[in-house]
Amino acid sequence: MSDSKQNYIDGEWRDASTGETIETTNPAAPSESVARYQQSNAEDAEEAVAAAASARDDWAATPGPKRGAILREAASILKDRKEELTELLTREEGKTHAEAGGEVQRAVDIFYYFAEKTRDLGGTVKAASGSQTNLYTVNQPVGVAALITPWNYPIAIPAWKIAPALAAGNTLVLKPATVAAGTAVAIFEALDEAGLPDGVANIVTGPGSTVGETLVSHDDVDAVSFTGSSEVGEMVYSKATDDGKRVQTELGGKNPTVVSDSVDVDEAAEIVANGAFGVTGQACTACSRAIVHADVRDEFVDRVVEHADAIEIGPGDEYDMGPQVTESELEGTLEYIDIAADEGATLETGGGRPEGERFEEGYYVEPTVFTDVEPDYRIAQEEVFGPVLAVIEVEDFETGLRVANDVDYGLAASIITENHTEAERFVDEIEAGVAKVNDGTTGLELHVPFGGFKRSSSETWREQGDAGLDFYTIEKTVYDSF
């Protein structure tokens, strides 16, 4: 019997007005039910927005350090539940135990971080032209925020939206992806236990077509933060900005790692393999293109294939790489593998579902490496949300940089090189919001800005760190000549 979770609206746990629920299953064993969530509709979303709007003024007037104390207590509660939430995340999303544990810890760290930032939310003092005037700024919350989050980081992404929104004095409604909503619900359990006032934070599960649409278009919502696919995000951005809302979107990626001829090939292959196959390739920052200098191409391919072949696939609580989250995600990855072969790419390893008794049920796919990929192939241009690496051979750094930029996306990018001039040019000229040198495309610090260029982002507001607070605050300039 699966656990049934309710919506959290105005400080109460409630069933959806539809009376219906949605079941989630374990992607490693789809016959195993994990939990049930509310199949909410527009009415539930409207109730949540009304609660947030009602609580807005009192929460905005709450001193920052007092807000921080609640965030700090919520972080402590999540920390105490870390092992339980790690197991839930693994069963619901499919990550390995180590990956899930790291993600839960990141959510804890985010709440602790923004708890401390509440002490520094004052404005700035400036010198006025007149001797009788005090000139300064104050930062005020934007108001009610609608947060829409994906399934691939089901506790970290909600955390890095919720924590700065609350720290800055906003109220909010979260619509998580129902495919893996359990750890997001746990955040609200922690906030409730920590003493968050009624209505300040609300969670409603259900379809984007009803719950998400209502949140994005609601007159009482002042800001929208969305993470998900570029196609949906662009529609969200258009709708919300038409209504005059402040909007932040973080979307897809087609992230390259440029491998120079000066590298230690073993090290380069390990960096790329970790970025391509970690979290089953289901990360918006995953490395999906290795752009490799011809002089080291053959050796690099041999080494990265060795890494791929060494990965043990299976349930996340025991193996190196877990399943994809749903059957549709698996089918999408397998379709791209077929497309790559049809286009003329050479399959070096992987390319299908693994065989064996433990793979009979789950949504497993082999770590896959293609070579002889041309830059205009779909496998080199479109986001593949699975463990698939396209190796593109180039003759020099100039060509590699041009190929790296020649896509519609610009989220994360890296270069592996011993040439300092190449590294400096890469940082200056790469069209990506995150640029790394001698490191993988995945892995983010929580206290620095995160966001993309081109179709990877609305290119408006960044997330995380001080930039995350900027989105949730509006600055007022005060001339005090009293």
Q: Which residues are catalytic?
A: 284
Which has the closest alpha carbon to 314: 94, 92, 25? 94
Instruction: Please name the residues in contact with 321: beta carbons below 8 A apart, sequence gap of 6 or more.
Output: 96, 277, 280, 311, 312, 313, 314, 367, 387
Tell me how far CA of residue 227 lies from CA of 187, 217, 398, in angstroms: 18, 17, 33
CB atoms within 10 A of CB 80: 12
Angle at which helices 182-193 and 97-117 cross, to 10°: 40
DSSP 146: E
| Phi, psi of 333, rounded to the nearest 5 degrees | -65, -45
Residues 6+ apart with CB under 8 A from 186: 78, 81, 85, 88, 155
Report DSSP state, residue 423: H
3-class state of residue 369 by DSSP: strand
- For residues 44 and 17, give the distance between their C-alpha atoms in angstroms, rounded to a whole number: 6
Quick one: which of 12, 26, 101, 79 has its CA closest to 315?
A: 26
Contact 325, 26 (CB under 8 A): no
Residue 150, Ramachandran bin (φ over 0: left; ψ between -120 and 50: alpha; else beta): beta
